[in-house]
Amino acid sequence: MYARVSSDPSGYGVSVSKQDAENREVCARMGWTIVASFCDNDASASRYATKGRPEFEQMRAALGPGRVLVARESSRFQRDLAVYVQLRDLCADRGAKLCYGGRIYDLTRGDDRFATGLDALLAEREADIIQERNLKGAQATLRAGRQHGRVPYGYSLVFNNATGLHDRVLDEKRAPILQDAARRVLAGESLRSIEADLIARGVWKARGQLRKRLLNPTYAGFRTSRGEIVKQGKWPPIFTPEEFQELSALLRSDQHTVSHRGTEPKHLLTGIAVCGVCGEAVIRGKNGSTASAKRRFEPYEIYCCPKRHVGRLIQRVNTFVEEFIIFELSQPGALEKLEQTEEVEEDPGGETAAELEKRLDGFAAEAAAGRISPQMIGKIEADLRAQIAEAELREAGRKRVVSPVLRGVAGPNAREEWEALTVPEKREGIRNFAVVTINPVRSRWGGVGVTVRPIRAGRIDRAV
């Protein structure tokens, strides 16, 4: 037996349960023994499907001589003519039959092949009609700035009696969780520690999803299409556009682009410092593991290249890097240097947000004078608002993004502030502040063998 439903947002599988019950009635009436039952819940069978049907594949493998494949109707098997042809030939080759709609079909017979082929063609046509209807609906909601698709985390739907539509509103329990997470990220906490805290409190289950959600323009009230911001949506935002710009700039900067699996890193520079020979990120290792070395020395921990090009004592490297950062952040004007705007080449054809706003004001004046129709000014405003939103995000990305950790440390009390940080906070600060390279040295006592290059105004500064 096979059952399938294309959409089951509730996850309860009510439709497939009904199909299964009907299939069992057919088998009981025909006196057939049920060999196996397969079910694909919330899975499309059309050529527009974006995910597979594992149960359908298992069902095809189970077909054999003398067996009958039972379903409620032809469209449960497929809504794609190519898939029908494969299933038809498989049944004919293996001596299996189809049963749906109260009829049994022997696919070695021409009449049954024609009848089932016609049903398959109608099922595919119905899928095309549904797809066209969905596309038209999506375009209409896009023009109106309304929501489309599944309800995002942090929102719920409320029926609007006046419009007869469902409005997206803030979820009283989940929206504050995202707002609090955004506030903590902007205050300098790491994504990992925030997510661990939320999971421990029992209010978060989606491990590793916080960054993705905080970068979703939907939460700033923006309507998107194919991943691009197109206009302001008609639902309450969880973050302000300004907060979203700051989050986007911060979470796309270097200190948040590296993720860690497993336990929280214990060492300051693992995965951050790089090998001066091959450029691989260093790992923690141990030296003095051989029998002869053990007689002479105690094993000691080192930062080493995975390919063993370099290896330096962890404590010596940590001390050197930390002292350098403390010295730099304690200098007068350290924070101003960190906040310098990155110098980038301007797009000669691009307009700034201010220029686009000025253009919009000009069109508004034209409309007020009656030289532009209300319909035309509405379309122009929608297009320009989308361009303004994109320009604002681009301009925010040009600015030097300073980790809140470094903001808190910079100043005359840099040493005290730095020493009060946790290891994850120090790691975040180092990622945002400098590129650390561990180089080979000629002898065991030939210096620390570390190069630190501060990142200033979007470029790598002098080496130290």
pLDDT digits (tens, 9 = 90+) for 234-247: 889 998 888 888 88
The pLDDT value recorded for residue 363 is 76
How many Å apart are CA 10 and CA 386, to the nearest integer? 34
Tell whether 211 and 280 lie within a shared domain. Answer: no
- The string over 247-277, giving b where at least 16 C-beta atoms fall within 10 Å of a residue's C-beta and e elsewhere, is bbbbbebebbeeeeeeeebebbbbbbbbbbe
Among residues 265, 204, 231, 28, which one has the least CA distance to residue 141?
A: 231
The pLDDT value recorded for residue 391 is 67
Kindly provide the residue ranges of all beta strands, DSSP E only, lying in 249-382, ordered along the sequence.
Answer: 274-275, 283-287, 300-304, 311-313
Look at residue 441 and tell me if it is in a domain. Answer: yes
Mean pLDDT of the chain: 79
Name residues whose C-beta falls within 8 Å of residue 387's C-beta, 6 or more positions apart in sequence.
Answer: 351, 356
Tell whether 232 and 298 lie within a shared domain. Answer: no
Query: Within its chain, how far is the Cα of 41 from the centroid?
Result: 24
Tell whether 99 and 213 lie within a shared domain. Answer: no
Tell whether 326 and 421 lie within a shared domain. Answer: yes
* Start-end of H helices in 172-313: 175-186, 191-200, 210-214, 241-251, 291-296
| Tokens linked to 45 | 């069978």
Kindly provide the residue ranges of all beta strands, DSSP E only, lying in 25-154, ordered along the sequence.
Answer: 38-41, 68-70, 97-100, 103-105
Number of structural domains found in the chain: 4
Look at residue 14 and tell me if it is in a domain. Answer: yes
Residue 22 pLDDT level (bands cut at 50, 70, 90): very high
The pLDDT value recorded for residue 365 is 72
Q: By the 8 A CB rule, do 308 and 296 touch?
A: no
How many Å apart are CA 219 and CA 237, to the nearest integer? 5
How many Å apart are CA 444 and CA 442, to the nearest integer? 7
Tell whether 380 and 311 lie within a shared domain. Answer: no
The pLDDT value recorded for residue 220 is 87
Tell whether 172 and 281 lie within a shared domain. Answer: no
Tell whether 385 and 411 lie within a shared domain. Answer: no
Indicate whether this model's pTM tops 0.95: no
- Write out the residue range of the structural domain in which residue 246 sits: 155-252
DSSP conformation class of 457: T
Look at residue 257 and tell me if it is in a domain. Answer: no
Residue 411 pLDDT > 60, yes or no? yes
Angle between helices 241-251 and 175-186 (to 10 degrees): 60
Q: How many CA atoms lie within 13 A of 30 on its CB side?
A: 18
The pLDDT value recorded for residue 396 is 53
How many Å apart are CA 174 and CA 164, to the nearest integer? 26
The pLDDT value recorded for residue 24 is 94
The pLDDT value recorded for residue 114 is 95
For residue 26, what is the domain's CATH number?
Answer: 3.40.50.1390
Higher pLDDT, 133 or 392: 133
